[in-house]
A and B are shown apart, each in its own frame.
Chain A
Amino acid sequence: MFGLANPDRFLRFTRPLTPVLWGLAAVLLAAATWFSFIAPEDYQQGDTVRIMFVHVPAATLGLMAYAALGVSSFFALVFRHPLADAAARAAALPGAAFTALALVTGSLWGKPMWGAWWAWGDARLMSVLILFLFYLGYMALRASIDDEAKAARAAAVLGLVGLINLPIVKFSVDWWNTLHQPASLLRADGPSMSAVFLTPLLMMMAAWTALFLAIWLTSIRTEIIRRRVLSIRARRALEA
């Protein structure tokens, strides 16, 4: 596992992998979109059930991207490996975007189904809002410190602390009474959803996962290359 932590080997290994992921994401997105609109209307929710096909993947990937950011931060702090820091940094922007989408699409689903755009007392909504704020804090902290090595360490501590919020988001619907419904997919007795909705939903989640991996890997590669450019520039500036 640590063999790949060598940036050169990482660049060589992921070079053929990234176009495959981009292609896979495109094909899966197209197919999942098609299946999302041939699914029937839900007998209770009507056509709003189709918001689920974007809301659930957005929320799931918002959490997954933070898990990637937090675990990478841990490796960056403990092993001080630059690749781990690049991985944490590259997960922040897509993760924040997915979480924002989860909040907005959830709001667009909540208004017709619950009668409210937002509920301040709801533990699921609040914990996801806090997740979004962790992302913003992470990016703001990195941007506010000029010394990149110092910024990386400070951001890694914040990234690691934010991991505590992930189980709170996941189990908020079980620990508290929320307006938000409990889990339909990851539950002890298996998914509680009809196959006509489960199929497009799982396809959509696979598509968003592939897209996140494509964006993440591409951005890690870019970050390695960017650092190389900066170090060449610094070296030449010294020589000149």
Chain B
Amino acid sequence: MLDLDMGKYAAFVWPAWGLSAVVLAALTARALTSARRWSAELKRLEDEPRS
């Protein structure tokens, strides 16, 4: 059964999991947004009409 009652250790288990979730989400977001930003910039430069 799913057990989400951490009893007297809730103050240690949840911060450990919560912090891990935040850090993994931030790493993911950073990797994906910077990938999108630089790809868009490369495309813009390549599409730019050469003078």
Q: Which residues of A line the B interface, CB within 8 A? A: 29, 34, 37-38, 40-41, 46-48, 50-51, 54-55, 58, 93-94, 97, 100-101, 104-105, 108-109, 111-112, 208, 211, 214-215, 218-219, 221-222, 225-226, 228-229, 232-233, 236
Contact B16 A105, beta carbon cutoff 8 Å: yes
Which A-chain residue is minimally distant from B8 (CB atoms)?
A: A46
Chain A residues near B16 (CB-CB < 8 A): 51, 54-55, 104-105, 108-109
Determine which of B7, B15, B42, B46 lies in contact with A47 in the assembled complex, contact meaning CB atoms within 8 Å. B7
Contact B4 A112, beta carbon cutoff 8 Å: no
What are 15 of the A-B contact pairs (CB < 8 Å)?
A: A38-B1, A41-B3, A47-B5, A47-B7, A47-B13, A48-B13, A50-B6, A51-B17, A54-B17, A54-B20, A55-B16, A93-B27, A94-B27, A108-B15, A112-B9
Contact B38 A101, beta carbon cutoff 8 Å: no
Chain B residues near A100 (CB-CB < 8 A): 23
Lowest 4 A-B CB distances belong to which pairs? A105-B16, A54-B20, A47-B6, A47-B9
> How long is the Cα–Cα vector from A46 to B39 in the complex, in angstroms?
48
Known A-B contacts A37-B4, A48-B12; A58 and B20 likewise in contact (beta carbons under 8 Å): yes
Determine which of B4, B31, B32, B45 lies in contact with A229 in the assembled complex, contact meaning CB atoms within 8 Å. B45
Smallest CB separation, A116 vs chain B (Å): 13
Contact B17 A211, beta carbon cutoff 8 Å: no
Chain B residues 9-51 with CB under 8 Å of chain A are 9-10, 12-13, 15-17, 19-20, 23-24, 26-28, 30-32, 34-35, 38-39, 41-42, 45-46
> How long is the Cα–Cα vector from A111 to B38 in the complex, in angstroms?
43
Which A-chain residue is minimally distant from B48 (CB atoms)?
A: A236
Q: How many A-B residue pairs have CB under 8 A?
A: 95
Smallest CB separation, A22 vs chain B (Å): 8
Smallest CB separation, A35 vs chain B (Å): 10
Contact B12 A222, beta carbon cutoff 8 Å: no
Chain A residues near B28 (CB-CB < 8 A): 211, 214-215
Chain B interface extent, by class: 20 to 34
Chain B residues near A226 (CB-CB < 8 A): 38
Contact A38 B3, beta carbon cutoff 8 Å: yes
In addition to A97-B23, A101-B23, 15 A-B residue pairs with Cβ atoms within 8 Å of each other are A29-B24, A37-B2, A38-B1, A46-B9, A47-B7, A47-B13, A208-B24, A215-B31, A218-B31, A218-B32, A221-B35, A222-B31, A225-B38, A229-B42, A232-B46
Which B-chain residue is minimally distant from A236 (CB atoms)?
A: B45
Known A-B contacts A37-B3, A104-B19; A51 and B45 likewise in contact (beta carbons under 8 Å): no
Chain A residues near B30 (CB-CB < 8 A): 93
Chain A residues near B27 (CB-CB < 8 A): 93-94, 97, 211, 215
